Amino acid sequence: MEWTVKPGWNGVMIEPDASTPLLHTQGITKNFGQVQALAGVSVRIARGETLAIMGPSGSGKSTLLHCLSGVLVPDQGTVTFDGQPVSSLRDRERSHLRLTRFGFVFQDGQLIPELSARENVGLPLMLTGTSRSRALGTADGMLERLGLADLRHRRPGDMSGGQAQRTAIARALAAQPDVVFADEPSGALDQATGHETMQLLTTTVAMSGASLVLVTHDLNVARWCSRLIEIRDGLVHSDRRLEPLAAGTEAAR
């Protein structure tokens, strides 16, 4: 694989190589009863690419994200990750893939209320066999990168919505995933906090070298990504590259 590192809005940007996609789908369809959620979607996602998915409510965005991440198996077509046919793996193998290679950020964070921030962030590592002390050490490092070092002993209920989402981002990145999936992760936050959190998500994921697949209804959030796909009626309606934004230029939007 060819890597090009060039200066960009977040200091360093890794230029993805589109010829060897890390993750791709070929003609995937998914029906729920009479509802056709996906009508034949083919997408190729390069390593290090940050992809925003937009589209009307009910157009199939979450279903596409779930098929890409092995949560759902499409009715037809294939999903391939790093050369492996995800759609034909057994449940256990797909679970293992999700734990070890993917990170997830959901709308309401889905942190475990009884656990502290560092325990929440370290949990995915402990689930794959990392010792508790190592997992918590890694968690502390991730929380520090996200500006949450002082909150590491706090439980989610004692944090603001933005802090909880930053903790969820730290958790998604703790196992050094190849792809981070995020489904409307700023949906429950006020606009200013949402934008700040999404900027942090896109820059932290880009710096980690992982790919990002981000479902959002906010074009200003999508603009932090390198590419935008629009889904309508279960099909890719448009697919375009986005210009990198200069750091701190809110007006550039």
Which residues sit at the interface with Mg ion, rule CB under 5 A? 62
Q: Say if CB 15 and CB 5 are below 8 A apart.
A: yes
Cα separation of 180 and 168, whole Å? 11
| Between 24 and 232, CB nearer to ligand ADP | 232
Q: How far is the CB of 63 from Mg ion (least distance, A)?
A: 8
Give the separation between CA 182 and CA 67, rounded to whole angstroms: 13
Q: Which of 1, 5, 18, 35 forms a contact with ligand ADP (CB under 6 A)?
A: 35
Structure tokens at 189: 């936050």
- Alpha-carbon distance of 6 to 236, in angstroms, equals 29
CA 96 to chain centre: 17
- Give least dist CB 107 to Mg ion, A: 9
Q: How far is the CB of 117 from Mg ion (least distance, A)?
A: 27
- The SS3 assignment for 39 reads strand
Stretch of 58-66, 80-88, 119-127, 156-164 contacting ligand ADP, by CB under 6 A: 58-66
Strand, coil or helix: 20: coil
Say whether residue 59 binds ligand ADP (CB under 6 A).
Answer: yes
Question: Chain-centre distance of CA 156, in angstroms?
Answer: 20
For residue 244, what is the DSSP state? Answer: P
Three-state DSSP at 196 gives helix
The CA-based angle 252-226-31, given to 5 degrees, is 125
Q: How far is the CB of 27 from ligand ADP (least distance, A)?
A: 17
Among 60, 109, 122, 177, binds ligand ADP (CB under 6 A): 60
- Taking CB under 6 A as the rule, does residue 3 contact ligand ADP? no
Identify which range of 2-10, 50-58, 105-113, 156-164 contacts ligand ADP by CB under 6 A.
50-58
Residues in binding contact with ligand ADP, number by CB under 6 A: 11
Residue 55 binding ligand ADP, by CB under 6 A: yes
- List, as own/partner pairs, every contact residues 134-138 make where C-beta atoms lie below 8 angstroms and the sequence separation is at least 24, other chains included: 135/174, 138/174
Task: Indicate whether 63 belongs to the interface with ligand ADP (CB under 6 A).
Answer: yes
Closest approach of ligand ADP to the CB of residue 45, in Å = 18
- The rounded distance, in Å, linking the Cα atoms of 52 and 57 is 15
CA atoms lying within 13 Å on the CB side of residue 138: 20
Residues 143-182: x/- map of binding to ligand ADP (CB under 6 A)?
Answer: ----------------------------------------
**Whole-number minimum distance, CB 25 to Mg ion, in Å?**
17
Q: Is 52 in the site for ligand ADP (CB under 6 A)?
A: no
Which of 62, 87, 165, 186 is the binder for ligand ADP (CB under 6 A)? 62
Q: What is the closest distance, in whole angstroms, from the C-beta atom of residue 129 to ligand ADP in the complex?
A: 32
